[in-house]
Amino acid sequence: MTSTNDRLVKFALLLCTLAALALSAQAQTYSIIHNFTGGPGGNYPWDGLTMDRAGNFYGTTFEGGNTGQGMVFKLSNHNGSWIYTPIYSFRGGNDGANPYAGVTIGPDGNLYGTTWSGGQGAPACAGGCGTVYKITPPAHVCQRASCPWSETVLYNFFQSGVGLGYPWGGVIFDTAGNMYGTTTEGGTITGSCPLPGCGAVYKLIPTGASWTASVLYSFTGNGDGAVPYCGLLMDPAGNLFGTTLYSNLEAGGYGTVFELIPSGGGWSERTLYAFQGGSDGGQPQSGVIRDAAGNLYGGTTEVNGHLYGAAFELSPSGNSWTYTVIASLNGSIGAPLSFDSTGNLYGTTVSGGANQFGSVFKLTNSGGVWTATDLHDFSTQNNDGYGPWSTVSIDAAGNLYGTTNAGGTTLAGTIWKITP
């Protein structure tokens, strides 16, 4: 079985070779509000930004920080100026390292997330199998310009025979304070999945000062899917939704959208859609979002075997779901879409655009017909960022924010803003 890291390398190389057409552009005010500097300042943010109620942003970098193992940062606006503050540097080893996912603001106001590697690990994981962590602000008012937050490792994957490893996506909470997420490897070895497994959905339950993990579902690679890169969505009924990169691990396949339903003290899984790899798209690496009517929206990394993106809608219809491509884009969609207050959708492509280095797009619905508008095309010129794997964050004024994995003044990535 090809390792997850090998698949990532091959996928990244394919992105570098993409050539595509550009969407019709719409003039916007685009600006870079922070250039990552590498080293202690962090480099290579893979995910987008999380906004708190005060308008501050939080995120992670895959590398950099004080030990080069990645970090968590805060970005605040003070009188029109953006203040960037590193708040925690991962140390590797038992501490965790290299977060792909951003952070989730928990019910207690602390930051929660996952690291791809580090932790106690096991022989199955070189460098550790990853962690779930909590970042807590200083207990007292800090008088210094930069005050580090404290980290608590809540769970080490592979630590207790549960067999989970390599979380790419972040975590979500239910109303009882339990956490949920996915791992790209591990789970019960069933179906066509050899070691280290096809990935799983897990739940973490707080028990006093510790957390107890359970596997809600192990993917078998027999049509139900394999290798879930994304995080999860929970609907008001407590059902979980997500995507897998593959349908059948040994035969390949083009991925699935799945639902997990609480059932009799356990969970039952059903595949809502299995991608065919044609004009419907395939190999979704991002998760789904939900509107008030219960429709799901997401994106794919390929269409017809090329690294184009299909933005899709899944609508419930009785006991089945109807799949519709709402827009065909000229680059791979690598992150979940976002809604604004009027129902427009926003997203990024990690490739494509006029310069082949990614774009920011808007999808507008008029009478059931979605229209795609190109808001910005990234490039390697003029210190622009490129390669966005970022979800688009939207503030109360309608401004858009996100990150690029590379580019900027030091090629370590950027944080950008688009003003309508």
Residue 360 within any structural domain of the chain: yes
Cβ atoms of 245 and 228 within 8 Å: the answer is yes
Whether the ω angle into residue 196 lies within 30 degrees of 0, i.e. cis, is yes
**CA 48/CA 34 separation, integer angstroms:** 13
Question: Residue 301: inside a domain, yes or no?
Answer: yes
In-domain check, residue 22: yes
* 339 within domain boundaries: yes
For tokens 């999808």, the residue is 363
Examine the pLDDT at 350 and tell me if it is beyond 50: yes
Average pLDDT over residues 159-186: 88
**pLDDT single digits (tens) 194-222:** 777 889 999 999 988 899 999 999 999 88
**Does residue 332 form part of some domain?**
yes
What is the token pair recorded at 249? 């691990």
> Residue 128 — pLDDT band, cuts 50, 70, 90?
confident
Average pLDDT, the chain: 89
By residue range, what is the domain housing residue 38?
A: 14-43+275-420
Q: How many CA atoms lie within 13 A of 117 on its CB side?
A: 18
Fill in the amino acid letter for 382: N
In this predicted structure, the answer to whether residue 318 has a pLDDT above a threshold of 90 is no
Poorest-pLDDT segment among 157-161, 168-172, 300-304, 387-391: 157-161
Please check whether residue 224 lies inside any domain of the structure: no
pLDDT in tens, 92-112: 988 999 999 999 999 999 999
If we measure between CA atoms, which residue out of 93, 94, 92, 90 comes closest to residue 73?
Answer: 90
Q: Looking at residue 131, what is its pLDDT?
A: 94
Which are the contacts of 187, defined by CB distance < 8 A and separation ≥ 6? 163, 164, 193, 197, 198, 199, 200, 215, 217, 218, 219
Contacts of 147 (CB under 8 A, 6+ apart): 87, 138
Cα–Cα distance for residue pair 30/27, rounded to 1 Å: 9
Element (H, E) at 404: strand 400-404
pLDDT at position 277, please? 92
Residue 282 counted as domain residue: yes
Q: What CA–CA distance (Å, rounded) separates 132 from 180?
A: 10
The answer as to whether 143 is a domain residue is no
Total of domains in the chain: 1
Which uninterrupted H or E stretch holds 9? Answer: helix 4-16
Structure tokens at 156: 């080490």
Mean per-residue pLDDT, 25-36: 83
